[in-house]
Each structure stands twice: as C-alpha cells, then as structure tokens.
Amino acid sequence: MKYKLTNLIDIKQFQRLLESFYVISEIPHGLLDPDGNILSGIGWQNICTKFHRVNTKSALNCKKSDLSIKDKLNFQGIYNMYQCKNGLMEAFIPVIVEGEHIATLILGQFLFSTPDIEYFRKQAQIFDFDENTYLKALSQVPIISKEELNTYMNYFFEVSKILSSLILKGLNQKKNEALLKEHNTNLEKIVVARTAQLTQMNTQIEKKERKLKETIAFDQLRTEFFANLSHEIKTPINLISSVIQLLELEMKSNEISLSSVMDRRLNILKQNSNRLLKLTNNLIDVTKIDCGYLKLNLQNCNIINIIENITLAVADYIKNKNMELLFDTTTEEIITAIDPTMIERIMLNLLSNAVKFTNPGGKIIVNITNSKKEIILSIKDTGIGIPKDQLDLIFNPFRQVNKSLTRSHEGSGMGLSIVKSLVNMHQGTIMAKSKHNKGSEFIITFPIKKLPSIENTSECYPLDYSKNTHIEIINIEFSDIYS
C-alpha cells in the first residue's frame, strides 16, 4: 500500500476505543500492521511484556508468531486463532481493503483452560526466567470460554468493517488530494508565465482553498466516523446493559444475595456500561447537532416545577457524596415554551459537573430568578473552580479542564458543548464564572415565550422520577463519577 495506515486513520482515537472495550472484556487486544508491528494495544499481560518479549530467546518466538499471522489468514471465516510459540492463545481478524490485507485486529494472551504448569515451568528453565514470578504472571492470564471468544470476535468483526470503510475513504481522499495538487501545480505554471503579481495572488488563494477543502473533508470524515462508530457501539452496550438488568431482576425475584465482592464487581460492570452508553449518546447527539438533525419538542410548561423536580431527583445522590444541595426560587410558576427532556439533559449535566469538581463537605446551589421577559437559572458550587485562561474554552467540543490521570471521575469533554447547543436551541444564553479553588457558577438565561394555542398540540407532562426510566437516565449521566 502506498500510504501508511497511521496516515489514514486516527490511531489515538482507535486506541481510546480499544481502552473502552477493555474495561468490559479485560482481554488484551490490539491492532497490527501486515509486518507484525503493534500500532495500538491495551491490556498486554506481564507474561509477555516482562518475560517473553524482553528475553532475547523467547522474543524470537514472539516475532515468528506475529509474522506467521499472514500464513494463517483465512478470509472466508469471521476470525482465526492459534497458539503462539510461547504457549498462549491469540485470535485475529484481517482488515481488508479492495482485496489487500491492510491490518490485523488481534485479541490475544488468553487461555481456554487451566494452563499446563509443567510446560511453563520448563519454559522458565529454558529461557532463564525466575520461576516463581513467571508462574505468577501466568496466573494473571485471563481464561475464557470459546463462547465468550465468539462474542468478542463478532464485535471486532464489526469494528474491522468500520475500519475498512474508513481506510478506503482515507485512500480516496489521498488520491483526490494528489489530483488536486497536480491540477494546482499546472495552474501555477500558467499564471507564472503571465504575470508575477497574479502568481502571488493566486498562490495565496489556492493555499486558502486547499486548507478549506481539507478542513471540510476532515470534518465530514470525523462526523461520519463518530456517527458510524457510535451506532455500532451502542448495540453491544445495550445488550450488556440488558443482561445486567436481567441478572438483577432474576436475583431479586429469586432472593439471591451476592457477596460484597461480587456485588461490587456487578456495580463496576453496571457503572462502566452506563459510562459507555453516556459516551455513545453524547457522540450521537454531537453528530445530530452538527448536522442539524436534533430538534426540540417544545411545550408550554412550568419550567420552575421541572427544574425543581430534576434537582430534587439527585438530592439523595449528592447527599451520599457528603455535599449539601440547596434549591431556591423567587417564584413558583413560570409558563414558557421548552422541551422538558432537553431541560433535564441540561440540568443533569451541570449538576453532575458540579459534583465532579466539588469536594466532600461542599455545597451545590440551584437558584432561579426572573424578570418579565426572561428566566435566569444559576447552578453554583464551592468546588475547585476553573482557571481563568480556560473559561472561554470549556464550551468547545472535546475540551477538558482537568487532564490529570488521577481524577476521581472521567469525561469526554462533550457535555458542556451539548449543553450550550441545547440552551441556544431554546434561544437562551449560557456563561460561566469561576474563581480557582473557590468554585464555579453557570448562569443560563431563557426567554419567556409561549407557544400559540394552535401550535401547542401536546400537553406538558411533568417528568416522573419515580419511574425506572428516569432513574436510569440519572445513573447514566452520573456514571463517570467514581464511587
């Protein structure tokens, strides 16, 4: 292939996808080029990284195993698998573009059954490994069933199809850029022959046009990537969430109680499933907003009642975090045209942000005031605050203020961007105030504007937080805050 794979797809973005899947599967996996070089990976086991691949003798076996993938490729089935020369199992799927093997998705370093200890003890002797630490590393290698492997590889098969599509688009883009560059070169020669002044002007125009076309093409590719990837990921996430709910229902109906360890593991699985679902929903919403597909379902509602219900719905959660939640309003009723579901999305996002950046013992204050023409909503906290130089950037997509690896929460940086878009769709405004280490305040202004009765075809139903659906919405929105 003329172009490197790293020039056709965003390897860092793909690495984040692998990391998200690893949270669920805990099985090592990665992406290799046709020469066996590792482009991206996650979860490599100590038995490989600290023994097999660092020892001169055993590393030769690793290299032979990586290169032997070419000879084992079977383009008729979904995936292939083999046992590496150092005794571990690996499964792989080729990524094919226009009949050419471009890359290999690999799921490796696992076993189907309890390992043969004597075999690996002999390995330690042959390669001069410390036997005890080597066998300890062996004990950490995951053991999965063939049914589990089929499930994982079906998922990676879908990922391989998406990769093939993206790589093909990248190749076509490169070809178009080459043709455009050739056209511009010929045009420049003609212009140079006529006048030096026109050459300089046209060169500047061509550079701007090229940059604009590249930007438009990149944005379109990014939007398509997010849209395709989000919908593909949402299917297995929904399946995982459904299985978790089914397990909880079956345990409840059969009065089965779990040990504290198993209960904690089930909660971790549920929380991380919700985190993936939140990320996927955010990606889909960002794509809809960018394409103009997200529409409001406006109804004449009492916005005070809706905001108060949403705030009170998360009161117990905030109390459990050892924080104080205060709600205050200067009036009990203001009827205005809003989309209740989108107001809920705005409130839950801002409240979850306040919890993320507020330490135990702090306060979160929700306050509503109004004039004749507008409603002013304030969500204030006594948290760590936002640096002054970051205030103008926090509403940009994928922007995160705290990039530390030791945060007590996670996030994609899309939440505030979505909030701003939803506020703007209500013809409102949002701004942030903050003092570093003293707290932040988000101030939203909504216009008071009723729908004419002829347009108000649907009645405003209050959000009922006693229903499981709304409880799940809260769990999803707060899922990236660690317990």
Predicted confidence (pLDDT) per residue in 265-294, tens digit: 877 777 777 777 777 777 777 777 777 778
Q: How is 310-337 classified by DSSP, letter by letter?
A: HHHHTHHHHHHTT-EEEEEES-S--EEE
User: Which stretches of 28-112 are DSSP H helices?
Assistant: 46, 56-72
- Give the strand pairing for 324-329 and 363-370: parallel
Query: Encoding tokens for residue 371?
Result: 């004039």
pLDDT score recorded for residue 181: 84
Q: Tell me if 181 is assigned to some domain.
A: no
In this prediction, residue 467 carries a pLDDT of 55
pLDDT (0 to 100) of residue 73: 65
Same domain, residue pair 331 and 471: yes
What's the pLDDT score for residue 32? 83
Count other C-beta atoms under 10 Å from residue 12's C-beta.
9
Q: 184-198, 309-323, 355-369, 447-461: lowest mean pLDDT where?
A: 447-461
Same domain, 321 and 200: no
Note whether residue 14 is domain-resident. Answer: yes
Q: Which amino acid is residue 292, in one-letter code?
A: G
Q: Residue 145, class by beta-carbon neighbours within 10 Å (0-12 exposed, 13-18 middle, 19+ buried)?
A: exposed
- 32 and 112 in a single domain? The answer is yes
Residue with token string 């573009």: 97
Closest to 138 in 3D by CA, of 74, 87, 67: 87
Dihedral sign for Cα atoms in the order 213, 219, 225, 227: negative
Give the count of alpha carbons within 13 A of 142, CB side only.
19
Is the residue at 384 inside a domain? yes
Residue 388, in any domain of the structure: yes
**219 assigned to some structural domain:** yes
pLDDT at 37 over 70: yes
What one-character DSSP code corresponds to residue 256?
A: -
What integer pLDDT is reported at residue 306 of this predicted model?
92
**Which of 241, 273, 291 represents a domain boundary (last residue)?**
291
11 vs 125, which has greater pLDDT? 125
pLDDT of residue 21: 81
Does 161 share its domain with 45?
yes
Q: Pick the residue with more confidence: 177 or 134?
A: 134
User: Could you give the 3-state DSSP secondary structure of residue 239?
Assistant: helix
Q: What is the pLDDT of residues 388-415, one digit of tens each?
A: 888 878 888 755 555 443 344 455 567 8
Clarify whether residues 239 and 304 are in a common domain. no
Do 450 and 337 touch, CB atoms closer than 8 A? yes
Task: Judge contact between 419 and 346, C-beta under 8 A.
Answer: yes
Decide if 49 is inside a domain. Answer: yes
Give the pLDDT confidence score for residue 76 in this predicted structure.
57
Q: Does some domain include residue 466? A: yes
Q: What is the mean pLDDT of the chain?
A: 82
How high is the pLDDT of residue 464?
62
Looking at the chain, the whole-number percentage of residues with pLDDT higher than 70 is 87
142-196 pLDDT, tens digit each: 999 989 888 888 888 888 888 888 888 878 887 888 788 888 888 777 767 777 7
Q: Which pTM does this prediction carry?
A: 0.49
Residues 6+ away with beta carbon under 8 Å from 422: 342, 345, 346
Are 278 and 410 in contact by the 8 Å Cβ rule? The answer is no
Statement to judge: residues 150 and 229 lie in one domain: no
Pick the last residue of a domain from 150, 167, 184: 167
- As given in the structure block, the two tokens for residue 480 are 């990236």
Q: Taking Cα atoms as reference points, which of 174, 170, 27 lies closest to residue 110?
A: 27
Query: What's the Cα-to-Cα distance from 372 to each of 125, 240, 368, 369, 428, rounded to whole Å?
Result: 84, 49, 14, 11, 15
Check residue 482 and give its pLDDT.
Answer: 56
User: Strand pairing partners for 146?
Assistant: none
Verify that 285 and 307 share a domain, yes or no: no
Domain containing 341: what range? 299-477
What 8-state DSSP symbol labels residue 401? S
- What is the pLDDT at residue 255? 73
pLDDT digits (tens, 9 = 90+) for 184-240: 888 777 767 777 777 778 788 888 888 888 877 777 776 666 666 666 776 777 777
In this predicted structure, what is the pLDDT of residue 259? Answer: 73
Q: Both 284 and 318 in a single domain?
A: no
Up-side HSE of residue 96: CA atoms within 13 Å toward CB?
A: 15
Residues 161 and 213 grouped into a single domain: no
CATH code for the domain in which residue 357 is found: 3.30.565.10
Question: Higher model confidence: residue 464 or residue 456?
Answer: 464
- Nearest Cα to 479, choosing from 23, 17, 148? 23
Two tokens, residue 78: 């979904």
Domain count, the chain: 3
**Residue 189 domain flag:** no
User: 324: pLDDT confidence band, cut at 50, 70 and 90?
Assistant: very high
For 18-36, what is each residue's pLDDT tens digit?
888 888 778 888 888 877 7
Task: Please write the tens of the pLDDT for every residue from 100-118.
Answer: 888 888 888 899 999 999 9
Do the beta carbons of residue 458 and residue 299 sit within 8 Å?
yes
Last residue of a domain, one of 291, 315, 342: 291
pLDDT for residue 436: 83
38, 32 Cβ separation under 8 angstroms = yes
Same domain membership, residue 151 and residue 100 = yes
Residue 234 sits in the same domain as residue 315: no
Residue 433 pLDDT level (bands cut at 50, 70, 90)? very high
Confidence label for 244 from pLDDT (cuts 50, 70 and 90): confident
Whether 171 contacts 3, CB under 8 Å: yes
Tell whether 267 and 315 lie within a shared domain.
no
